[in-house]
């Protein structure tokens, strides 16, 4: 499940690393007469990142914003849904570790070739990374272009960069991965409940409820008892529905106006109860969760409810047949003539 990490913890490793670095003049300009290969691009950045409150990535004129929310960082346009702490840590660390390697073009007409043109252009390939403090003042800004990954000889990765407002571009050493797609920042895991734990499932659509339960090593439909021949593999898929449930996107539950079309209740041997409500919005399948539990299942239930409550998750449409199947979904294939 997703780790919970505050900004102070997120930056602790960066600051420790910074202690052993060479600290040059307190300037973020890379246009220096005393340029030497290996110099940090931002020699005094690490301690300043303690004041970071917002990270913006601009790509083709669109801005992805990651904002500090209490002790967490979240996607601003996803209701501050938490991002992967390790991914944010890697981005901030990458900025502090960039080292100048070579001067490259200062001709704006050549910027696109390196991917360091203006990120506001709708056809631009560059990314503008901005780290801001709580007042909105930039701590660091950098145009990030094409990366070069070296797989032989233990050579460091390099990336083309340029400071906004400065025509001088650079080849810099360091691993700096910038993703402008919000979905790449999400921890895709929703929950992972082993199928062996599932004791019963009740899937309801309108007036019809399908009741599933274990029968030895199998998971079978108990009610309604009068049903056509079923595919045993499809029946068994129902107890695997929460085994590796992943998201494609997320939004605050209050923003999902579609009413639930199906509700399934998964109950484990130890008393964990997971209720899944499924809705369709356009062609997408969305799920909302409620989790309860008593006795030894209560700590797990509390943890899941705190993390999942208040959110709607877009999931793969193929998962509907295991989360809330219909009798037609479970039917055995017709025998070959």
Q: Which residue has the tokens 């056809």?
A: 123
Question: Going by C-beta distance under 8 Å and a sequence separation of 6 or more, which residues neighbour residue 101?
Answer: 37, 38, 158, 170, 171, 172, 173
Integer CA distances (angstroms), 287 to 190, 257, 268, 273, in order: 10, 12, 20, 16
DSSP annotation of 335 reads: P
Q: Break the chain into its structural domains and give their ranges.
A: 7-181, 189-330
Residue 271 pLDDT greater than 70, yes or no: yes
Query: How far is Cα of residue 162 from the mean position of the Cα atoms in its chain?
Result: 27
Confidence (pLDDT) at 150? 67
Q: Distance of CA 139 to CAs 71, 77, 214, Å?
A: 19, 22, 58
C-alpha to C-alpha distance for 125 and 105, rounded to whole angstroms: 17
Residue 8 pLDDT more than 90? no
Instruction: Detail the DSSP E strand segments found in 181-283.
Output: 189-191, 198-205, 208-215, 218-223, 245-246, 249-252, 262-268, 272-281
Tell me the per-residue pLDDT of 141-182, one tens digit each, with 9 for 90 and over. Answer: 999 999 987 666 678 899 999 999 999 999 999 999 999 999
- Residue 20 tokens read as 């052993």
Q: Give 101-157 pLDDT, tens digit per residue.
A: 999 999 999 999 999 999 999 999 999 999 999 999 999 999 999 998 766 667 889
- Residue 330: what pLDDT? 97
DSSP codes of every residue in 159-171: EEEE-TT---EEE
Q: What is the pLDDT of residues 233-258, one digit of tens each?
A: 999 999 999 999 999 999 999 999 99
> Mean pLDDT score of the chain, rounded to an integer?
90
pLDDT confidence of residue 157: 92
The token pair at 40 is 């940090």
**Could you give the CA distance from residue 250 to residue 311 in angstroms, rounded to a whole number?**
7
Residues 6+ apart with CB under 8 A from 191: 1, 242, 245, 274, 289, 304, 308
Mean pLDDT value across residues 276-282: 96
What lies within 8 Å, CB to CB, of 49 at 6+ separation is 11, 14, 92, 96, 131, 139
Does residue 294 carry a pLDDT above 70?
Answer: yes
- Closest by CA to 290, choosing from 270, 310, 268, 271, is 310
Q: What pTM did the predictor assign?
A: 0.84
| Cβ atoms within 10 Å, residue 6 | 14
Exposure pattern of 70-97 as b/e (b: 16+ CB <10 Å)?
eebbbbbebbbbbbbbebbbebbbbbbb
Q: How confident is the model at residue 265 (pLDDT cuts 50, 70, 90)?
A: very high
- In this predicted model, what pLDDT tens digit does every residue of 54-88 receive, in sequence order? 999 999 999 999 999 988 999 999 999 999 999 99
Distance CA 196, CA 329 (A): 22
pLDDT at 335: 79
Predicted confidence at residue 301, as pLDDT, reads 98
Residue 59, CA distances (Å) to 62, 116, 125, 300 in order = 5, 11, 7, 39
Bond from prior residue into 200 cis (ω within 30 degrees of 0): no
Structure tokens at 333: 């294939």
Res 97 pLDDT > 80: yes
């Amino acid at each position: 499940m997703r780790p919970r990490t505050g900004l102070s913890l997120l930056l602790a490793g960066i600051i420790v690393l910074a202690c052993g670095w060479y600290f040059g003049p307190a300037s973020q300009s890379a246009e220096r007469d005393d340029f030497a290969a290996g110099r940090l691009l931002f020699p005094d950045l690490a301690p300043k990142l303690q004041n970071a409150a917002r990270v913006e990535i601009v790509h083709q004129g669109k801005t992805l914003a990651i904002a500090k929310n209490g002790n967490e960082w979240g996607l601003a346009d996803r209701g501050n849904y938490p991002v992967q702490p390790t991914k944010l840590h890697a981005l901030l660390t990458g900025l502090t570790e960039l080292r100048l390697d070579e001067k490259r073009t200062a001709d704006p007409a050549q910027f696109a070739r390196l991917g360091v043109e203006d990120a506001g252009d709708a056809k631009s390939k560059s990314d503008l990374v901005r780290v801001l403090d709580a007042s909105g003042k930039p701590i660091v800004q950098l145009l990030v272009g094409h990366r070069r990954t070296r797989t032989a000889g233990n050579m460091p990765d390099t990336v083309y960069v340029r400071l906004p407002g400065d025509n001088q571009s650079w080849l810099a050493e360091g691993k700096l991965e910038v993703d402008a797609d919000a979905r790449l920042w999400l921890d895709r895991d929703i929950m992972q409940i082993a199928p062996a734990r599932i004791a019963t499932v009740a899937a309801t659509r309108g007036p019809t409820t399908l009741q599933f339960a274990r029968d030895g090593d199998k998971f079978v439909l108990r009610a309604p008892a009068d049903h056509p021949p079923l595919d045993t593999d499809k029946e068994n898929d129902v107890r695997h529905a929460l085994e590796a449930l992943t998201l494609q996107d997320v939004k605050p539950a209050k923003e999902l106006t579609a009413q639930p079309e199906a509700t399934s209740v998964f109950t484990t041997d130890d008393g964990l109860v997971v209720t899944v409500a499924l809705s369709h919005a356009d062609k997408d399948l969305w799920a909302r969760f409620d989790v309860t539990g008593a006795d030894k299942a209560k700590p797990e239930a509390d943890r899941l409810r705190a993390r999942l409550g208040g959110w709607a998750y877009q999931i793969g449409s193929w998962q509907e047949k295991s989360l809330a199947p219909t009798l037609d979904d479970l039917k055995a294939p017709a025998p070959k003539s």
